[in-house]
Structure 1
Amino acid sequence: MSDLTQAVEISGGIFALMMATQYGTRHFGWHKIALPVLAVSGFGYSYLKDAPTDHSSVMLYLVGAAIGLVFGVLAYASTAMWADRTTGSIMTRCGAAFVAVWLVAMVARIGFVWAVSDIPAFQTWVGEHMMSMHLTTEAIAPFFVIWALTMVAGRLAGLVARSRALRTQFDATRSATVSPVTAPVMTRTAG
């Protein structure tokens, strides 16, 4: 399998999963947390188990994590979240901005791999930089996987924190508006 095919499959698969499970108005519960984490972790394990761990590669992975964090914050910011007024269910809505963030991330990953594969000048430039930084080509796939993992994890961490705050706020509002009714106790005396 070529690097480009692999990049398209990984990035396209993550994009499709996120659109299928997150786009539109959805109930936010543990299933919305577990599914993306499990799917991306599956990709992560298969590509990270044999990843180079030398100093230069780890530095590259940290750059991938930083890029993923930026995209994760953008994906988080493009997700509306609220508590349903009657049930307290936490809801999310992801629209065009959410799609744009994920699309840019996917196109950036695929574009890089395509450029390295098909544009000789870019291939030379990347090769020279990789050599000067003591990187091997085996570090590229883990870089992109770490980017994707951090993007998903960063967004989810923000959503989990926001959902807890919304739940607390809903519970406080509900308990403040529902006060116990106290009726005078009537006793009957014989007489």
Structure 2
Amino acid sequence: MTTYLLSLGILALVLCTGLGTHELSVRRAVRPVLIVLAVAAFYLRSFPTAGNDVRLDLVGVAAGVLLGVATGLLVKVRRDATTGRIVTTAGVAFATLWIAVTVGRMLFVYGTDHWFAAGIVTFSREHLITGADAWTAAFILLSLTMVLARLATTFALAARRPAPVATVR
């Protein structure tokens, strides 16, 4: 149940803070970074490293980076003509990708308990994945990396916007 609540909590945070048009600032980025650090500290107390657990974690990180960059690219970044400040606009495509990833993660967790428990045990044994803690770490890393990669992508896009032209009066 905790995994579902965490997934829905991250989704709610991302959608509430990301959807719509907002001024981009370091201050706006601090909250998701702090939440990511808190979630990591809470859920990644034990970090399985036996067998291929680290490889599984790296797959989670890689997937998180790819999905984070994809969601970051779905955010429109522009300079406001009147204020000269960078603003971002995220809409339906942004929300759809976040929802799809969250639902996919939740279905995988549900499936490991109800639909394909024996299959995941066999897969884990054959690929030297030590168990549920390794899978949990990989999915937590995917989620957290996705948030951070989205932020990094948005700031990278913002850095490419030309500075406002100063007018002489």
User: Does TM-score exceed 0.5, indicating one fold?
Assistant: yes
Structure 2 portions without partners, runs of 5+:
none
**Is it true that 1:162 corresponds to 2:154 in the alignment?**
no
Query: Is the 1:7–1:109 contact (alpha carbons within 8 Å) kept by the matching residues of 2?
Result: no
Q: d(CA) in 2 for partners of 1:20 and 1:27?
A: 14
* Structure 1 position 70, deviation (Å): 1.7
Q: Secondary structure at the match of 2:89?
A: strand
- In the superposition, the TM-score normalised over structure 2's length comes to 0.93
Runs of 4+ with deviation above 2 angstroms = none
How high is the sequence identity, in percent, across the aligned residues? 30
Q: Which one of 130, 152, 166 corresponds to residue 124 of structure 2?
A: 130
| Bigger RCO of structures 1 and 2 (CA < 8 A, at least 6 apart) | 2
- So what's the TM-score if we normalise by structure 1? 0.83
Q: How many residues align?
A: 168
1:126-167 superposed Cα distances (whole Å, 9 cap, x missing partner): 11010112212111111111001111111111111222222x
In 2: Cα distance, 1:84 partner to 1:28 partner: 11
Gaps of 5+ in 1: 182-191
TM-align CA RMSD: 1.4
Instruction: Show CA shifts across 1:68-111 (max 9, x none).
Output: 11211221111011111121111111110011111011011100
What residue is the counterpart of 2:71 in the other structure? Answer: 75
Superposition deviation, residue 55 in structure 1: 4.7
The one of 144, 147, 152 aligned to 1:152: 147
Larger Rg: 1
Determine helix, strand or coil for the equivalent of 1:170.
coil
